[in-house]
Structure 1
Amino acid sequence: MAGSTSSEAAPVDGRTLRDVCGMFVTGVTVITSGEDGDAEGTTVNSFTSVSLDPPLVLFCLHKESRLRAVVDASRKFVVNFLQGQQEGLARAFAGKGTAEIRDVATHPSVTGVPVLSDALAFLSCRLVDEFDGGDHTVFIGEVVELGVPRQHQEPLVFFRGWLGALDEELRGVPSIVDG
C-alpha cells in the first residue's frame, strides 16, 4: 500500500543499547559470594534496591560469569559499594582473569561471605530468587546485614564507560525521596 507506515520498530542493536544505557549514571559494586577459599568476586553496576519491607535488592550477572555458579551454590552474596578511590579495585574484579579475594582486605559478614573491608558500604544477603534475564540472570536477595564503614567518602560511579568519584559540588545537595 503506497504511503503506509509500519508500526514495526527496527531491531535494537546490542552495542547501541549499551551506549544508550551508559548515559545512565550508576554506582559501582563488587559482588562477593562463597566462603573461605571458595570465595569469588566480580564488578557489577546492575544493582538496585527492590523493597524496604521485606528488605530486598537485586543485581544481574552474565550467564557465563564465573560468579554465577558460586552464588547458585552458596545461596548468599555481599554487595560491596565501592568508594571513589577504588577504581583500580573495580577494574581488577571486572575481567575474566580478575583479582583474587585473598589479595584484598576482607572480613566475614554474618553469612560468612567476605566483605571488602575498604568498601564505602555493604549489604550481606541471602538469595531469595533468581530469574532468566536474556543473556543475564537476575538475582534477588534479602538483606540480613548492612554497614557503612566509610560514611564520609564519595562513591565510585560509572558513566559512558568512565569510572570516577562524584563531583564535590554534589555532596551538599539534599536527597530526593518519593517512595
Structure 2
Amino acid sequence: MTPASTQAPHQVKPVEGRTLRDVCGLFVTGVTVITAGMGEEAAGTTVNSFTSVSLDPPLVLFCLHNDSRLRPVVESTGAYAVNFLAGRQERVARAFAGKDTAAITDVAHHSSVTGVPVLSDALAFLSCRLVNTFDGGDHTIFVGEVLELGVPRQSQEPLIFFRGFLGALEEEPRGVHPIFDG
C-alpha cells in the first residue's frame, strides 16, 4: 500500500449535464404542475424539482429553468400553486411539460386564496406566496410560504418520475418501512 503523500492526485473530469441528469433520474420524485398567474395570464408547467423546506414557517421550494415561460408569470404574480399529480394524471403531466403546453382552461381548476389556479383533480395542492428567489445556475429557486393546502384525492397513488419515465406506484408497495425523523 502506498502512503497517501506519494499517491498521484485523483483526477476528476468535469461533470456533463446529460450524465448528471441520468444519475439524478435514479432518484424517485413526485410529479407536480406549478400554476401561476390570473385570468388570461394563468399558466402551468410540469415540475419534479419540488421539496418541503420548513414547517415553521411553512415553506416549500421548486426550481424552474431560467428560460421557462412560467418564470416571469410567477415573479409578476408573486404567488403560485404546487399541484401534486395522481398516478392517473400522466396525460396532465405531459400536457404541461412542453414548450407549447395546455392552457389552464383545458383542465378543471378553481382559484386558490392567492388567486392562482389550482388543478381541481390533483392529488393534493399547496397555494403559496412567493417569499424569495435564489440563483441556481441555469435555474431559479423559488421559495414560497404555504397559505392554503388541500388533499382532495386522499385514496389515490401519486404520479412518480424515475429513470426518465412517468408512472404510478404499484398497487401494493413492497418493502415499506416507516421513516422516522430525528
TM-score range, shorter chain: over 0.9
CA distance in 2, matches of 1:90, 1:177: 31
TM-score (norm 1): 0.95
Larger Rg: 2
1:110 corresponds to 2:96:
no
- Bigger shift: 7-16 or 74-83? 7-16
Q: CA offset at residue 169 of structure 1?
A: 1.6
Deviations 1:26-60 (A, max 9, x none): 00000000111210100000000000000000000
TM-score (norm 2): 0.93
CA distance in 1, matches of 2:180, 2:52: 13
Unaligned runs of 5+ in 1: none
Unaligned runs of 5+ in 2: 1-5
CA distance in 2, matches of 1:150, 1:93: 20
Aligned length: 177
Q: In the alignment, which residue of structure 1 is the partner of 2:51?
A: 48
Give aligned-pair identity as a percent.
73
Amino acid across the alignment from 1:21: C
1:74 corresponds to 2:77:
yes
Q: CA offset at residue 170 of structure 1?
A: 1.9
Q: In the alignment, which residue of structure 1 is the partner of 2:143?
A: 140
Amino acid across the alignment from 1:56: L
Return closer, same or farther for 1:54/1:171 CA change in 2, 3 Å cut-off: farther
Q: In the alignment, which residue of structure 2 is the partner of 1:125?
A: 128
CA distance in 1, matches of 2:175, 2:158: 14
Helix, strand or coil for the counterpart of 1:66?
coil
Return closer, same or farther for 1:172/1:78 CA change in 2, 3 Å cut-off: farther
Q: CA offset at residue 8 of structure 1?
A: 4.0
CA distance in 1, matches of 2:178, 2:108: 31
- Bigger shift: 69-78 or 166-175? 166-175
Q: How does 1:1-179 map to 2 (within 5 A)?
A: 5-170=8-173, 173=176, 175-179=178-182
